[in-house]
Amino acid sequence: MMSIRGVSVSFVILAMVCIAFADIEVIAADPWSEFGRIGLGFITPSFFSWSELLTSLANTIAFALVGVAVAAGLGLLLAPFFHWRVVRLFCSFIRSVHELFWALLFLQVFGLHTVTGLLAIIIPFTGIFTKVYAEILEEVDQRPLNALPIKALNTGSAYIYARLAVAWPQLVIYTRYRLECGIRSSSVLGFVGLPTLGFHLETYFKQGDYSQAAGVLYLFFLIIASLRLWTHRRGLLILLLASLIWLPFELSTNPEIILRFLTHDILPQPMRDAASLLDVSVWADMFNWCVKLVQTQVGIGVWNTLLLTMISLVGSGIVTLLLYPLVSPLFFRKRWRLPGHLFLVVLRSIPELMLAFVVVVMVGPSMLPAIIALSLHNGAIIAHLIGHSTITLKLPLGAARGLNRYAYEVTPRIYRPFLAFLFYRWEVILRESAILGILGIHTLGFYVDSAFEELRFDRALFLILITALLNILVDIVSRRIRKQLRLTALPEIR
Amino acid sequence: MKLSRLIIAATMLVAATLANAKDFTFTAIPDQDSSQLQLRFGKVAKYLETQLGVKVNYVPVKSYAAAVTAFRNDEVQLAWFGGLSGVQARLLVPGSEAIAQGYEDQFFKTYFIAHTSAGVKPGESFPEGIEGLTLTFGSKGSTSGRLMPEFYIREHFKRAPEEVFSRVGFSTDHSRTIALVNTGAYQIGVVNYKVWETELAEGKVDPEKVQVIWETPVYPDYQWSIRGDVDGNWGAGFSAKVKAALLGMNDPDLLASFPRQSFVEAKNSDYQPILDTAKSIGLID
């Protein structure tokens, strides 16, 4: 039987073992002077070319809005069928592949086109929406449904009026939250060449133009921070419409390219070159092809991805426990909580990839930047939610203050939801761990990136599928643990 | 008021993108300072426009492979490729031709550079004593920053770079390779000699900290490649017109953006050595 304490201790020990195996060297000779230059850049932001910046800002928002809107619609359609195993598996698969991997795949077919950016968001987000919508609908007050006559139970009207209508406020809150994630994803797509904010951010950071990089980052913060101002119902509709007009849609891709990609490019090389698939030697070659990939890339990639994931999971936990008091009314007055809020907002709104990229520039591409970025980003997300949830905690009269209050009164009380949030983030952390490989850390993403650079799409797809499988496995383990410990969490964390 | 302004802005943009639909488009591999790409190649687009009499666009890409894919999918019809990316692209697009190369590209070379603290002495032959140090390549798909240096490393040590060096990185472009060795993040770097000489002249390198320890034998590198079907789409003789325009480019300002002293003729067979090398180290099947 698992216990909260047992699980916590095992994960911490596991993470410590992982650290012993991980490459956490500081490679840069003088990271502090680079840090100084970055700091200087942030004090002296510059906006190199407004037309370029504003165009990429508009693209970022447009990709996110249209992508999230379509995905939410599809999620709403699929959610009632989530109890079908095939739908569940399908959703679990499409969300197990990271947006950037989808983008890299679609780039081969549609090029740097609107469709590439939209599909890269729509596909994984549909998987997430379907799952979370289904869970919200499940957990909603069942009384209106129970009041219906039996023969009306499975009708569309019952679904709309007795479930959807009841769950609607929660669905809206969750969808709005996902829009913020959509903007993050959409910016990050710039790293592989789509014309969003990430495009310039990557360029400027790489070239060491930190003032300009800071300019882009400030613009990004501005949209995240002002999100609430323009995501009321009418504003959203207008913006959605504007986005549809803004994005160029005419597609120049011919079906031949799609066909070639599906029937040639992604087929494993031995199959592609074979005269007939009935030949036994083809399958022997196929076997060797797989074995060689597993020996040279998959093994190391999976190993490093898991190391990074386990360390960052515990790292996120530690960051959460350190930071949540900053935004909790049980520890600080409102005035003093403001800087803490700001700090957490900044940390959780920068996508991990961007954060890691900045740290890589400082300390070099060991696993250290990835650990730092993942722990800070995910820690800040959970700390924000946990800190807020302490508002509802009623401490006994004359409860201890200061450190004692933290250690004996509050932390034990929030420990269960904290653990629940952390385990929900596990698969997200794994997905990001894999993707951070494109920065040079030898996780699965490194080999996926290499395969794309060598134009070996068969290998790329194979590696992406391995990553997806790993993600699904972690999801299953996490669900088991949550079930055993009876942990549940807010939709925002899932 | 707000809405009308939005609609106007959006319509203007759509009009702009529609105009782009059928233009002759080229790209270039992002091999150095990528913030300057638009500046460097925007001028080239203007020049080609006046020479060819059609609208010419330049699209920036984030990686060597993206340049190849754009060429393959006919998103661009002309590209300034490296040796390796050019070979990859022309293998994927039957009928495509290498039409011009930089004068220097006939005998291009890679510089092995080292941070002085690594204590490696410059010499005429492959540098001894670099085993066990840290090394950064350029882009994974670079000729001068990956293919050729990896070939010489394998030839010398009879082992893969990962087994020779204590750490192997990919900096993504030549400017960044130089910067990484300059700060000491990596002890050894392998770099396009033209980018090195340009950055040295611009004072971006501290000669006290970084020096060239070996230069490889020469090999063919960068070239302009064009798709075989452009004559069908832009009229007979279009390909020849593009070639003439490239060979006739003599404005020092334009040439400086490559940087090359002039462009000379090239043909596919010039790059056979690159294809053979890529096959020998397993980058092309």
- How do residues A432-473 score in pLDDT, each as one tens digit? 999 999 888 899 999 999 999 999 999 999 999 999 999 999
B57 contacts chain A (CB < 8 A): no
Do B66 and A107 lie within an 8 Å CB cutoff? Answer: yes
With a threshold of 0.90, tell me whether the complex ipTM lies above it: no
Average confidence (pLDDT) over A213-237: 88
CA distance A212 to chain B (A): 10
**So what's the pLDDT on residue A54?**
92
Q: Exposed, middle or buried by CB within 10 Å (0-12, 13-18, 19+), for B99?
A: buried
All residues of chain A having their beta carbon less than 8 Å from the beta carbon of residue B62 are: 191-193, 199, 202
Average confidence (pLDDT) over B189-210: 92
Contact of A164 with A155, CB cutoff 8 Å: no
Please provide the average confidence, as pLDDT, over all residues in chain A: 90
> Which residues in chain B (12-31) have CB-CB distances under 8 A to chain A?
13-14, 17-18, 21
- How do residues A37-77 score in pLDDT, each as one tens digit? 889 999 999 987 888 889 999 999 999 999 999 999 999 99
Contact of B102 with B69, CB cutoff 8 Å: no
Average confidence (pLDDT) over B7-33: 66
**So what's the pLDDT on residue B226?**
97
Q: Cis ω on the peptide bond leading into residue B259 (within 30° of 0)? A: yes
Average confidence (pLDDT) over A262-271: 90
Q: pLDDT-derived band of residue A490, with 50, 70 and 90 as boundaries?
A: low
Secondary structure class of B79 (helix, strand, coil): strand
Q: Among the listed ranges A85-94, A230-239, A462-471, which one has the minimum average pLDDT value?
A: A230-239
User: Which among B81, B43, B61, B97 is positioned nearest to B238, based on CA atoms?
Assistant: B97
Q: Cis ω on the peptide bond leading into residue A412 (within 30° of 0)? A: no
What percent of chain A lies above the pLDDT cut of 90? 58
Specify the pairing of strand B110-115 against strand B188-192: antiparallel
Contact of B271 with B98, CB cutoff 8 Å: yes
CATH of domain B109-215: 3.40.190.10
In the predicted structure, residue B7 carries a pLDDT above the cut 80:
no
d(CA A453, CA A459): 11
Do A455 and B17 lie within an 8 Å CB cutoff? Answer: no
B134 contacts chain A (CB < 8 A): yes
- How do residues A168-185 score in pLDDT, each as one tens digit? 888 998 998 899 999 999
Task: Report, at the CATH architecture level, how domain B2-105+220-280 is classified.
Answer: 3-Layer(aba) Sandwich (3.40)
Could you tell me which chain A residue has the CA closest to the CA of B37? A203
**So what's the pLDDT on residue B39?**
83
Contact of A186 with A67, CB cutoff 8 Å: yes
**So what's the pLDDT on residue A491?**
67
In the predicted structure, residue B11 carries a pLDDT above the cut 50:
no
Which residues make up the CATH 3.40.190.10 domain(s) of chain B? 2-105+220-280, 109-215
All residues of chain B having their beta carbon less than 8 Å from the beta carbon of residue A204 are: 35
Could you tell me which chain A residue has the CA closest to the CA of B74? A253
Q: What is the DSSP letter of A140?
A: S
Q: pLDDT-derived band of residue A1, with 50, 70 and 90 as boundaries?
A: low
In the predicted structure, residue B12 carries a pLDDT above the cut 80:
no
Rounded to the nearest angstrom, the gap between the alpha carbon of residue B76 and the centroid of all alpha carbons in its chain is: 16
In the predicted structure, residue B280 carries a pLDDT above the cut 50:
yes
Q: pLDDT-derived band of residue A116, with 50, 70 and 90 as boundaries?
A: very high
In the predicted structure, residue B260 carries a pLDDT above the cut 90:
yes
Closest by Cβ to B59, choosing from A28, A112, A364:
A112
Please provide the average confidence, as pLDDT, over all residues in chain B: 90
Domains, chain A, with CATH or none? 1-44+266-494 (1.10.3720.10), 48-255 (1.10.3720.10)
d(CA A22, CA A6): 24
Do B17 and A248 lie within an 8 Å CB cutoff? Answer: yes
CA distance A81 to chain B (A): 38
Could you tell me which chain A residue has the CA closest to the CA of B17? A248
Contact of B52 with B241, CB cutoff 8 Å: yes
B233 contacts chain A (CB < 8 A): no
**So what's the pLDDT on residue A388?**
87
Contact of A385 with A490, CB cutoff 8 Å: yes
All residues of chain A having their beta carbon less than 8 Å from the beta carbon of residue B183 are: 28-30, 34
Which residue, among A61, A189, A206, would best test binding to B if mutated, counting the most B CBs under 10 Å from its CB? A206
In the predicted structure, residue B13 carries a pLDDT above the cut 60:
no
Specify the pairing of strand B167-170 against strand B134-137: parallel
Do A206 and B34 lie within an 8 Å CB cutoff? Answer: yes
Secondary structure class of B102 (helix, strand, coil): strand
User: Which among A54, A34, A52, A50 is positioned nearest to A42, based on CA atoms?
Assistant: A34
- How do residues B93-125 score in pLDDT, each as one tens digit? 999 999 999 999 999 999 999 999 999 999 999
Q: In what side-by-side order are the strands of the sheet with B97-102?
A: B56-58, B24-28, B78-81, B223-226, B97-102, B263-265
In the predicted structure, residue B16 carries a pLDDT above the cut 90:
no
Residue A88 tokens, joined? 């569940």
Average confidence (pLDDT) over B17-26: 67
Do B35 and A454 lie within an 8 Å CB cutoff? Answer: no
**So what's the pLDDT on residue A493?**
63
Instruction: Give the H/E segment covering residue A322.
Output: helix A299-323
In the predicted structure, residue A304 carries a pLDDT above the cut 70:
yes
**So what's the pLDDT on residue A492?**
65
In the predicted structure, residue A165 carries a pLDDT above the cut 80:
yes
**So what's the pLDDT on residue B17?**
45
**So what's the pLDDT on residue B6?**
52
**So what's the pLDDT on residue B1?**
42
d(CA A126, CA A79): 10
